Amino acid sequence: SSFFSVNQILLLLLILTVCAILYNKVHKVPSALKNEAVDLESPEEMEEEIPVVICAAAGRMGAAIAAISSIYSNTEANVLFYIVGLKNTIPHIRKWIENSKLKEIKFKVVEFNPMVLKGKIRQDAARPELLQPLNFVRFYLPLLIQKHEKVIYLDDDIIVQGDIQELYETKLAPGHAAAFSDDCDLPSTHEMVRSVGMQNTYMGFLDYRKQAIRDLGISPSTCSFNPGVIVANMTEWKHQRLTKQLEKWMQRNVEENLYSSTLGGGVATSPMLIVFHGKYSAINPMWHIRHLGWSPDTRYSEHFLQEAKLLHWNGRYKPWDYPSVHTDLWENWFIPDPSGKFKLTRPDS
């Protein structure tokens, strides 16, 4: 009788399977019709959207414009630009885009409210431009971006020469909320880094005389990373509550002055170095060739720059100002301001 019951069970399973298949066949019809309707849309609607976040700060909007123009011109991908600004600058950037050849791009303008930073920033006289509220936008990515799992964040002083799709496809290891470029991955620039005293270890960003920093147990000679180019996973970011952690380290800095104030990007970089320590994936080094703004005298080899996928003028010497290096590579992508408000600073101007 046990033999019989096994057969009965098998028969029952077979009947259930057939029923399930028939049920699906019958019920698939409406969704198939729906699919057809979708297919009538243009094929690019079907592609994955690549969200790229860029800030448009007062006084340096031409930077955001050149960055956007370089990305848009070098890809076939379906890019959606999130352009983040403060209330008073938004109309200007919108006009600039709509009255130039960038009017074809897909973009959303997002207003950043600097009130979220109240009490979290220590006023640092060394380089006040680094206290720009928009410097901290990268801490708040999940609040600005709702429906995307993976997001690219870029500083405004960059130019993209490669296809942004390639950067977007950067693999993030399980449990990692972000990928950055490691500051020890710049073979051809190491000599240069040493010659102009650039910072590429934690020692340059955190004040190791402070107990709170020593308690982290991070060796001062650990390689830093540069958060000017980020590929981020929003699900992991929210799950690990990284925005809260970053805010905590801003708050502690206000109370205890934990970061090396002499430093370029100390204010926004240092909390990220702490929170993401040992928990980030790597971006291909050619996707972040940096320090172009470090000194007006140090030039890279032309061949090397041609090969680079992304150029970053981090440092004081920006390509829309004077003096600066390799400005021709930047100006290739710049689109003059139709309103005439933003002007390039050039030796003859």
Residue 324 CB contacts under 8 Å (≥ 6 apart), including other chains: 293, 296, 313, 317, 318
In the chain, the DSSP E strands lie at 49-55, 78-85, 106-111, 150-154, 158-160, 178-182, 225-233, 281-282, 310-312
Alpha-helix runs per DSSP H in 170-294: 190-195, 211-214, 234-239, 242-256, 266-275
Note whether 314 and 291 are within 8 A (CB). Answer: yes
Question: Does residue 153 form part of some domain?
Answer: yes
- Asked whether residue 159 carries a pLDDT value surpassing 70, the answer given is yes
Residue 6, pLDDT score: 74
Question: Does residue 28 form part of some domain?
Answer: no
Cα(146)–Cα(88) distance, rounded to whole angstroms? 24
Residue 129, pLDDT score: 61
Give the residue with greater pLDDT, 120 vs 75: 75
The candidate with the shortest Cα–Cα distance to 112, out of 145, 146, 85, 152, is 85
pTM for the whole structure: 0.84
Residue 184, pLDDT score: 80
Note whether 177 and 88 are within 8 A (CB). Answer: no
Cα(158)–Cα(290) distance, rounded to whole angstroms? 9
pLDDT digits (tens, 9 = 90+) for 127-140: 666 668 999 999 99
Cα(96)–Cα(94) distance, rounded to whole angstroms? 5
Distances in whole angstroms, Cα of residue 1 to Cα of each of 5, 7, 8, 14 = 6, 10, 10, 20
Cα(211)–Cα(294) distance, rounded to whole angstroms? 31
Residue 7 CB contacts under 8 Å (≥ 6 apart), including other chains: none
Question: Does residue 144 form part of some domain?
Answer: yes
Q: Calculate the average pLDDT of the chain.
A: 87
pLDDT digits (tens, 9 = 90+) for 333-346: 999 999 999 999 99
Q: What does DSSP assign to residue 136?
A: G
Any idea which of 38-42, 56-60, 103-107 has the lowest mean pLDDT? 38-42
Residue 153, pLDDT score: 98
pLDDT category, 279, cuts 50, 70, 90?
Answer: very high
- The pLDDT of 279-289, averaged and rounded, is 95
**CATH number of 95's domain:** 3.90.550.10
Question: Does residue 155 form part of some domain?
Answer: yes
Residue 32, pLDDT score: 41
Question: Does residue 107 form part of some domain?
Answer: yes
Cα(305)–Cα(311) distance, rounded to whole angstroms? 8
- The pLDDT of 18-27, averaged and rounded, is 67
pLDDT digits (tens, 9 = 90+) for 218-244: 999 999 999 999 999 999 999 999 999
pLDDT category, 21, cuts 50, 70, 90?
Answer: confident
Any idea which of 1-5, 231-235, 265-269, 309-313 has the lowest mean pLDDT? 1-5
The candidate with the shortest Cα–Cα distance to 52, out of 157, 164, 134, is 164
pLDDT digits (tens, 9 = 90+) for 46-98: 678 999 999 999 999 999 999 999 999 999 999 999 999 999 999 999 999 99
- The pLDDT of 285-290, averaged and rounded, is 93
pLDDT category, 261, cuts 50, 70, 90?
Answer: low
Cα(81)–Cα(16) distance, rounded to whole angstroms? 49
Q: At residue 25, what is the residue type?
A: K
pLDDT digits (tens, 9 = 90+) for 160-217: 999 999 999 999 999 999 999 988 865 555 455 555 556 788 988 999 999 999 999 9
pLDDT category, 37, cuts 50, 70, 90?
Answer: very low
- The pLDDT of 32-36, averaged and rounded, is 42
Residue 159's SS3 state is strand
**Domains in the chain, number:** 1
Pairing verdict, β 225-233 and 150-154: antiparallel
Residue 269, pLDDT score: 93
Note whether 244 and 275 are within 8 A (CB). Answer: no
Q: What does DSSP assign to residue 206?
A: B
Q: What does DSSP assign to residue 223?
A: B
My answer on whether omega of the bond before 323 falls inside 30° of 0, hence cis, is: yes
Residue 319 CB contacts under 8 Å (≥ 6 apart), including other chains: 157, 292, 293, 313, 325, 326, 327, 329, 330, 331
Question: Does residue 263 form part of some domain?
Answer: no
- The pLDDT of 1-28, averaged and rounded, is 70
Distances in whole angstroms, Cα of residue 87 to Cα of each of 56, 95, 171 = 11, 14, 35
Supply the range of the domain harboring residue 163.
50-183+225-255+268-332
Question: Does residue 198 form part of some domain?
Answer: no
Question: Does residue 202 form part of some domain?
Answer: no
Residue 96, pLDDT score: 98
